[in-house]
Amino acid sequence: MNGRTSPRPAAAEPVPTVDEHGARVQRMFSSIAHGYDRANRWMSLGTDRAWRRRAVAGLLPPGTGPAPKVLDLCAGTLDSTLEIARSHPQATVVAGDFSARMLDEGRKKLSPDDLRRIETVPMDAHAIPLDDGWADAVFCAFGVRNLSDLPRALSEIRRVLRPGGMLTILEFFRPESWISRTVHGLYNRTILPLLGWAATGKLDPYLYLPRSIGAFSRVDEMLDLLRAADLEPAERTPLSLEVAWIVRARRPEVDA
Ligand SMILES: C[S@@+](CC[C@H](N)C(=O)[O-])C[C@H]1O[C@@H](n2cnc3c(N)ncnc32)[C@H](O)[C@@H]1O
């Protein structure tokens, strides 16, 4: 693949993580890879598909050429990757995740045609094995909340984006209003862990999910982090009564 640096051999050994939190998250996702898609469908009542479609539809920045390059970071089982490849048929897509097992589960869903356009690369978001300026767009769905060092990962994302390139984040942020906090909190602490456990046979990852949302930034704090990484916020769109958000930011055309 053009412009790529030293790919790691697929799934040979665990991708090194930056710290123990990363290693725990990596083990956790690998342990639920087999039931991850089922859990997502049940927990979101299928709305995660509509969220992904909407986030993916606007992922290319204006002025992108006819053969865009897209990195789907924290790609998991490739639901967003597939949406990107199918809605942008000229795009080359690299799907990166530090859980080789999640990527392997996703590869089962790829057709021979998908396999020609999508490359899965085990990688840690804090050390992305792509050249500077390789990507027209970076997409990250439900990934940034899990990262050990978000400022460091944002600086990596900025490095691999071309000037003018765009980052799209689809994420659950800490709810702002007390109404959303109460309603989301109730659902996330009761029904969600039960559905997650029924779909995967594991409870801990689905207790971690609401904890990680509660401990994460509010959407306005995320915008501050983006600015601090020299990425210019371009959009913040609430989805399904602020259950999830699309946040977009661009690498400036000219470095500060
Ligand atoms: C909640 S899943 C989201 C997967 C997919 N994007 C989706 O929307 O279904 C989070 C994914 O992020 C990956 N991940 C978490 N921290 C990571 C890191 N530091 N580097 C690479 N991948 C990471 C996990 O392995 C997991 O597959």
Distance 123 CA to ligand 1 centre (A): 10
What region, left, alpha or beta, does residue 11 occupy, with left being phi > 0 and alpha being psi -120 to 50 degrees? left
- Residue 9: the pLDDT is 45
Where does 45-173+218-250 sit in CATH, by number? 3.40.50.150
* pLDDT tens figures, 205-236: 989 888 888 888 899 999 999 999 999 999 99
Cβ–ligand 1 contact at 98 (below 6 Å): yes
State which amino acid sits at residue 192: L
Edge to edge, what strands does the sheet with 135-141 contain?
A: 118-122, 92-97, 69-73, 135-141, 161-171, 244-250, 232-239
The rounded distance, in Å, linking the Cα atoms of 11 and 97 is 11
* Domain residue spans of the chain: 45-173+218-250
* pLDDT tens figures, 172-192: 998 888 888 888 888 888 898
Distance 256 CA to ligand 1 centre (A): 30
State which amino acid sits at residue 85: A
pLDDT higher than threshold 70 for residue 80: yes
The answer to whether the beta carbons of residues 125 and 153 sit under 8 Å apart is yes
Most confident of 128-137, 171-180, 237-246: 128-137
- Per-residue pLDDT band for 101 (boundaries 50, 70, 90) equals very high
Cβ–ligand 1 contact at 33 (below 6 Å): no
3-state helix, strand, coil in the chain (%, to 5): 45, 20, 35
Cβ–ligand 1 contact at 74 (below 6 Å): yes
- Residue 12: the pLDDT is 59
Residue 126 Cα: closest atom of ligand 1: 19
pLDDT higher than threshold 60 for residue 1: no
- Residue 6: the pLDDT is 45
The rounded distance, in Å, linking the Cα atoms of 43 and 34 is 16
Pick the closest to residue 154 from 61, 51, 39, 74 (CA basis): 74
Average pLDDT of the segment spanning 232-252: 95
Residue 2's CB: how many other CB atoms inside 10 A?
8
How many DSSP H helices and E strands does the chain contain? 11, 7
Residue 36 Cα: closest atom of ligand 1: 9
Q: Given the structure tokens 């509010």, which residue do they identify? A: 218
Nearest-5° Cα angle at 26, 91 to 169: 40
Cβ–ligand 1 contact at 172 (below 6 Å): no
Ligand 1: residue of 19, 79, 98 to mutate (most ligand atoms within 8 A of CB) is: 98
Pick the closest to residue 106 from 136, 96, 69 (CA basis): 96
